Structure formats: structure tokens, C-alpha cells
Structure 1
Amino acid sequence: MNTNVRQGVPAPALETKEQRNQQQATIYRILLAISFVHLFNDSIQAVIPALFPTLKDNLLLSFTQIGWLAFALNITSSLIQPVIGFAADRKPRPILLPLGMCCTFAGVFLLAFADSYPLVIISIIFVGLGSAAFHPEGMRVAHMAAGQRKGLSQSIFQVGGNAGQALGPLLNYGVFIPFGQIGALGFTLFAAAGIVIQTYVARWYRGMLNAGYTFRKKSSTGTIDPARRKAVFMATVILVFIVFVRSWYGASIGGYYAFYLMDHYGMELDSAQIYIFLYLAAGAVGTFFGGPLADRFGRRNLILLSMVGTVPLALILPFANAFWAAVLLIISGFVLLSSFSVTVVYAQMLYPGNIGTVSGLITGLAFGLGGIGSLVIGKLIDHTDITTVFVACGFLPLLGLVALLLPGDKKLEQWAAE
């Protein structure tokens, strides 16, 4: 009897079927693991803006110098992420997952003891490099573990990151206000836990690659119509612009709104940080529900509504009293960030098989441009006043009307299927 045949099925065909079933299954333990690491990574990133008030007092910094700190974090990540993503799409490197967290560990350790402005910038660059290494490969792992549930996997993956960002204000309240800058040392525990989990995920990732998993999808015709190529390029430009605008407005809230609350309402720093937490926590919830909402109302429609729907809330915010400011922050955080994971899925459908490149482009380059926005906002506050700047920032989400130029869902699904 032929030992290479099991139940009448030749071994090579059976192996192919098993691999296909493995690729189609949703591996929740890996999704949850990579989501937790995303939480660790982005909570450490959130340490940077959470430390702004402390660093401003300790090192006597101007708002422009604070803007440069945000710029250093975002631009480091944005310059490296697309390169890592492009390289990973051609040759996956699972080892980058634990190595990236090692870099983050070094950055946050150095930040705890940094006693000069240049040293703070160097430590922030290390954190940015760690994030740059994590996101493209982390996105690929989430895509690999998703099976047929790509939207759900992105919601799980991205909600970890947004939840980590939301922890920033609470970290300031519970760590940096009572302990000062040295409190950053505690976040080396987050980084250490991330290294352990990433090592486990990297081993699974390597095993899947060895079993024959591939991200690449060849076109059925072998060529792409020039008109379609142009349409995909324009859609990519629009997506990057939308994420840039969203990041710019988010930078105004996450980086400077605490100062606005202290200046306008006379709040203490610990109370002001609670408001930022409400905004970011609502954004994390919006990120999770964004996928199901997009399935019901359409990806392009949700991207458009999330941007335009934020405009009236953002314009009213500078003039609301303390209570209504909290309410507006909760609603606007949910609405604006409900499209967070949807923009990533939309971009992945534009470029099937190029998951790392898309991650570097959307979560790297676009957020780096948002870092430029943070720098500009800091300069404007120094040269005008913080109220005028926040009123002006309220108009930013209106630029999301360019989402009307994005291809509709039917066209997008048609392209992804070819």
C-alpha cells in the first residue's frame, strides 16, 4: 500500500489542502498576542506626549521644542517604516518583532535618565525605531492570522494600539505626576513583556512561512491596466492625505489640548489628562467598531463620515464648558477614529500581497507627516495664542471631503479579486 496516500488523497495534494485550511483559519491566540504587543508598543509611545508637561518644566522647553520632540518620534518611525515594510514584503524577517521591542526597551530606559534636551531626543528616536520595526511585521502577522476575517483582524490589531495610546494620559496621572521623569523606568517592564510575546509570535510566524504561507497574489492576467494603475495611485495619495489630516488633528488634541485646558479653565495637569484619556479611549472603542460599521455602510462611506462628522464637534470644542468639552471629546474620538482600521484594510485591498509596504505607508509615512503637523501647531501656539490655534484646527477634518474621490467598495472589491 502506498504510504504517501492517505484516504485516497496523494500526499502533496493533501498537504496543499491542509496548508490552505490553515491559511483560511482565524488564529485568535496570535491576533490577541500581537494586539497586546501593539498595546505595549503604543503605550510606550504614548509616554512621550504624556511626558511633555513634565519635560517642559524640567528642561524649561518652549512649545516649539516640544513640537520637535513629537516630530523626532513620528519622523523616525515614518522614514523607516516604509523601508522595512517594502523589504519585508520581499523577504519576511520575523526576528524584527523581538528586535524592535529591544530597541524600544533601550529608548524608554534612556528616557528615564535623560537630563538634557539632546539626550531626550536620542531616547525618543530609539522608541521611534522600535515602533518602525514592529508595525510592518506586526501588520503582516495580523493579516496572516486573520484567515478570511481581514476586517476583524485589523480591528483587533489596531484596537490594541489605540488602547495603548489612550493609556498615555492615565500614565501621566498615575506615574509621571507623582514620580516625575524617572517613572518612565517602569515601562521597561512593558517592553520586556513585549520581547517575550514577540519571540513566541516570531516562532509561529517563521513556522507558517516554512509551511509555505505566502502573502503575494499574482494578477490573473499578469498585467495591470494603466488606467487602473493610475486610479490606484490616486486613491493611495488620497488615503495618505486623509490619515495625515486625521493625525494632525489628533496631534493637536493629544499633544496640546491639556495645555489648553490648563490655560482656559485653570485646570490642574492631572485633571486635564483625564480629558485626553476620554478622547483616546473613545477612539479605541471607535476603532474596534469601525470594521463592522464599514461592513454595513461601506468602507469609503465610513471614512468620509468619520472625517466630516468630526467637524462640528471640533469647531464647538474650544467654546464649550468643561462638562460639554468632555462629552464632545468622547463623541469626536469615537467618530474620528472609527475609520482607523478601515483605512488600513482599504489600502491592503488596493495592494494585495504588499501588507508590509501598505503598513509602512499608512501607519508610518502618514503619521510622520502628522508629526510635522505637531511641530507646526507648536510654533503657531508660540507665535499666536492657543485658543486661535485650536479653532483653526477644528477645520482640519473638513479636508476629509476628498474621500468622495475614492473608488467605491464595489470597484475596490473587484480590483482585489483580480
Structure 2
Amino acid sequence: MNIKAISSKLKGNPTMVEGTVYSMLVICSISHFLNDMIQSIIPAIYPIMKDKFNYSFAQIGIITLVFQMTSSILQPFTGFYADKHPRPYALSVGMCFTLIGLLLLAFAENYFIILLAVSVVGFGSSIFHPTASLVTQLASGGKKSLAQSIFQVGGNGGSAVGPLLAAIIILPFGQHAISWFALAALLAAIIMIRLGTWYRTKLSYVVTHQSAQPLINHDISRRTKYGALLILILLIFSKYFYTACITSYFTFFLIDKFGVSVQTSQLCLFVFLLAFAIGTVAGGMLGDKFGRKYVIWFSILGAAPFAIAMPFANLTWTIICTFLSGLIIASAFSSIVVYATDLMPDKVGLIAGIFFGLMFGLGGLGSAFFGWLADKTSIEYIFQVSAFLPLLGIIAGLLPNTQKVNRRK
């Protein structure tokens, strides 16, 4: 039986294993770490590019636009293709694109080549996320929120470490040092061969085995599904606009309001990022146990009291409120992605591509918007405004239940 025929059997039941395959989930997480680490170094090298080539801020903005277009907007299309035509080794192929893009960027001597390089790196990422999310659900053994959280925390870690490594390796040694990160891309491509081999085996497993269907409520009308997807998009907007404000401007807020040093402000930002990583895993575990709708509802709305109080607190309580808001709001994304794929279980790649694309795109827009607003008003003002975004979490109460409830007789 060919891959396309196997894919048709897989639709609607992406959990085709007898138990959770933690070894594959760890590989997915490590791959996500390496992928997002590489992605995050591109904004970190802008100062080098600007100084070396005397680029304007507008030219830097176009580099960001091209990178975001290929890494975010293409994801739904690569996800749609992954649903229709699964390619077990697409993950390694995608990382090879990233490797080529990094080498181009390391030795680029004109603006066109730089744009080409970041677009190739972005295209590699657009292949990675939808397919890796599909494999993650395949390895979940029914614990889909936990599996997605394990996968997601790898990406969070990579995004946090990337700029640090760029500061240590690239900033002191210049543009050519970008080529050292090609080794990380090569390592990821090799790791993903193992992942692709397992993925191919599990696709073949569908032919000879009939696994129990996951406990998904299929009695939801198409209109209700699309309404639920719209609500999820609004929740993604509130979550990533708020977190973009924190990650981009929290250090400036602390320096401006409390007069702390740059090193202290960076340490405080690390506290938020640590809380974010812990909340990502915890949210997945709670989503499988208590229901994804309720975790989504709590994780966004529950962060609101701490977000609203934070701009008016003293330094100690500012750090505590930031930690708690990050811990709570981070638990949402894995449950949102899995909830959306439960609505449309035959389009896991497409849905994952849409929501990962939204995550990157809205995060970039949020950072730009709050930067513009800070220039017009003040750093403290943008934190007072952004604090109300988690209140949008109240609309999660309108989501239908996608998980069936086991009732013992």
C-alpha cells in the first residue's frame, strides 16, 4: 500500500500507537530546540548586518518581513501538503534547507543574497513545525496535550538560548561565525532521520492494526467548529501580544521604573522565561487530565489578575506577578493546538501550521506595535495597556467540549 493510501487510513486517528513513545517525543523536542535556536539567531545578528553594510532600519525591516513571510505564512500550506502527502523524511529535508540558508547568510556580501538566505532558513522552519506536530501526536499514545507540551518546551528553550549563543559566538567574531550554527542544523538533520524512520514505520503500522479511536466528540457541527477556531485565534492574539510585550520590553520597564542594572533586568526576564517553560509542560499534563477547554480558559483568563497588578507593584511583587502570569499563560498553547486538531482530526498538519504561523506572526506584530506605542507614550504605559489582553480569555467559555467524558456505570 502506498503512502497516500496509508495516509487516508490515518486521517481522523492520528494516535496510532499502543502507548506514549517518550523517546520519540524527546527527539521531537530536541529537534524543536535546535530548529528554534537557529531561527532566533537571525534577529540577533541585525546589529552586525547594519554596521557592516550600513543598512537602514527600513532595510532591516524588510529582512524581517521576508523571514516572517517564509517561516510563518508558508506553514499552513506545508501543513496541508503534509496531511495529503506525508513524507517521513521531510523533517530532515527541511533542516537541510536551514543548513543551506545559514551558510548563505554567513558568506553573503549583498542585500539580495541576505534576503535569499533568510527566506531559505524560514522555509526550512515552515516545513518543520507542521510535520513535527503531526509526528508528536502520532507518538502521544492519547496524551496529546502532554506530548505537544514536551515538543513545545524544546522550542521555547531554543528561542531563549539562541540570542545568548549569538552574543557569545557571532557578535565577537563577525558574520562568518554564523557558519558554526550550520553544525547544529546538520546535527538536527541527522537526528530527524531517526524520527523519519519511526514515522514511516508507524504509517505502515496503520495497515495491519486498528487502534482504539481517541475520545473525541465528533458531534460538533461545522459552523460550531469554525466559530471555535475563530475564538482560538482571538486567544492566540491575546496570549502572544501580551507575551511579546514582556519578552521585548520587560528589561526596559524594570530599568526605567526601578533603576536596576541591565544584568539584573536580564535575570528578571529569565525568571519569566523559566516560568513560561514550566507552564508549558504543566499545561499539557493538566489538559489531558481535566480537559483542554478548561485549561485554555484558566490559562489565559487566570493570568489577568497578575498581569493587571504588575505595572503598579513594587520590584519584588513585579517579579512575582510576572512569574505567575508567565507560568499560567504559558499553559495555553499546547492545549490550543491539540484542541484545534481535535476539531479537525484529519487536518493535523494544516491546523498546526496555521497556529504556529499565527504564534510567530502575532508575536512579531505585537513587538512592533508595542514598540511604536512606547515611542508615542512610555514604557510603563504599554504594560498598563497590555495587562488587559488576558481578559479576552473569558471567551474560552464559549468553546464546545471536544473530549468525550468517560462515565462509569
- TM-score, normalising length: structure 2: 0.81
- The aligned residue for residue 17 of structure 2 is 23
Q: Secondary structure at the match of 1:368?
A: helix
Q: How many residues align?
A: 388
- 1:224-373 paired onto structure 2 within 5 Å: 228-264=221-257, 271-373=264-366
Structure 2 partner of 1:36: 30
Task: Quote the residue 2:403 is aligned against.
Answer: 413
Matched residue, 2:187: 193
- Residue in 2 that maps onto 1:158: 152
Shift in Å at residue 139 of structure 1? Answer: 0.9
Paired position in structure 1 for 2:99? 105
1:89 and 2:79 matched = no
Structure 2 residue matching 1:335: 3-state secondary structure? helix
1:167 aligned counterpart, secondary structure? helix
Check conservation: 1:89, 1:356, Cα contact below 8 A.
yes
Q: Match of 2:374, as an amino acid?
A: I
Question: Counterpart of 2:3?
Answer: none
**Is the CA contact 1:107–1:125 (under 8 Å) kept in the aligned structure 2?**
yes
Distance in 2 of aligned mates of 1:111 and 1:278: 32
Equivalent residue, structure 2, for 1:397: 390
Give the Å deviation of 1:39. Answer: 0.9
Q: Helix, strand or coil: the match of 1:83?
A: helix
Alpha-carbon offset, residue 347 of structure 1: 1.1
Q: Deviations over 1:285-325 (max 9, x none)?
A: 11111122224443222212211222233334345555544
Could you tell me how far apart the structure 2 residues matched to 1:271 and 1:216 are?
A: 56
Deviation (angstroms), 1:279 = 1.8
* Aligned pair partner of 2:131 in 134, 137, 141: 137
Question: What's the CA shift string for 1:357-402, capped at 9, x where partnerless?
Answer: 1111221235323333333233333444333223222222222222
Q: Is the 8 A contact 1:101 1:191 kept in 2?
A: yes
Are residue 209 (structure 1) and residue 203 (structure 2) matched?
yes
Once the 2 structures are TM-superposed, how far is the Cα of residue 193 of structure 1 from its aligned partner?
0.9
Distance 1:66 1:264 in 2: 30
When residues 189 and 261 of structure 1 are mapped into structure 2, their CA distance, relative to the original with a 3 A threshold, is: farther
**Residue identity matched to 1:193:** L
Answer yes or no: is the 8 Å Cα contact 1:49–1:254 preserved in 2: no
Which amino acid letter does the alignment assign opposite residue 332 of structure 2? Answer: S
The alpha-carbon deviation at position 229 of structure 1 amounts to 0.8
Aligned amino acid, residue 403 of structure 2? E
Q: Which stretch shows the higher mean deviation, 293-302 or 134-143?
A: 293-302
What is the identity, as a one-letter code, of the residue corresponding to 1:315?
Answer: I
Indicate yes or no: 2:71 matched with 1:77: yes
1:405 is displaced (CA, Å) by: 1.3
CA distance in 2, matches of 1:118, 1:259: 34
Q: Please tell me whether the aligned partners of residues 85 and 359 of structure 1 are also in contact (alpha carbons under 8 angstroms).
A: yes
Alignment equivalent of 1:374, drawn from 367, 371, 375: 367
Q: CA deviation at 1:228?
A: 0.9
2:320 aligned counterpart, secondary structure: helix
Matches of 2:388 and 2:58, distance apart in 1: 22
Does the Cα contact within 8 Å between 1:240 and 1:366 map onto a contact in 2?
no
> How has the CA–CA distance of structure 1 residues 157 and 112 changed in structure 2, closer, same or farther, with 3 Å as cutoff?
same
Provide the rounded CA distance (Å) in 2 between the counterparts of 1:246 and 1:64: 28
Q: Distance in 2 between matches of 1:204 and 1:141?
A: 9
Specify every segment of 5 or more residues in structure 2 that has no aligned partner in the other structure, as ranges: 1-13
For residue 147 of structure 1, the aligned residue among 129, 141, 149 is 141
Cα distance change of structure 1 residues 243 and 120 upon mapping to structure 2, 3 Å threshold: farther
Residues 46-69 of structure 1 show CA distances to partners (whole Å, capped at 9, x for unaligned) of 324445676677778888877666
- The 1:236/1:141 distance shift into structure 2, 3 A limit, reads same
Q: How far apart, CA to CA, are the structure 2 residues paired with 1:312 and 1:96?
A: 43
Identity of aligned residues (%): 41
Check 1:374–1:123 CA distance in 2 against 1; reply closer, same or farther (3 A cut).
farther
Shift of 1:84: 0.9
Q: Partner of 1:407: helix, strand, or coil?
A: coil
Unaligned runs of 5+ in 1: 1-19
Question: In the aligned structure 2, how far is the partner of 1:302 from the partner of 1:360?
Answer: 22
Shift of 1:242: 0.9
Counterpart Cα distance in 1 of 2:262 and 2:278: 25
Distance, in Å, in 2 between the alignment partners of 1:212 and 1:338 is 32
**CA distance 1:61–1:405, change in 2 (3 Å):** farther
Kept in 1: contact 2:291–2:403 (CA 8 A): no
Please identify, of 155-164 and 315-324, the stretch whose mean Cα deviation from structure 2 is larger.
315-324
Instruction: Say whether the 8 Å CA contact 1:64–1:382 is kept in structure 2.
Output: no
Structure-1 separation of matches of 2:120 and 2:366: 21
- What is the CA–CA distance in structure 2 between the aligned matches of 1:146 and 1:315, rounded to whole Å? 36
Distance (Å, rounded) in 1 between the aligned partners of 2:256 and 2:140? 46
Match in the other structure for 2:9:
none
Judge conservation of contact 1:74–1:370 (CA < 8 Å) in 2.
no
Contact 2:105 2:118 in 1 (8 A): yes
1:137 positional shift: 0.7
Name the aligned partner's letter for residue 207 of structure 1.
T
> Separation in 2 of the partners of 1:340 and 1:367?
12
SS at match of 1:148: coil
Once structures 1 and 2 are overlaid, which stretch shifts more, 258-267 or 347-356? Answer: 258-267
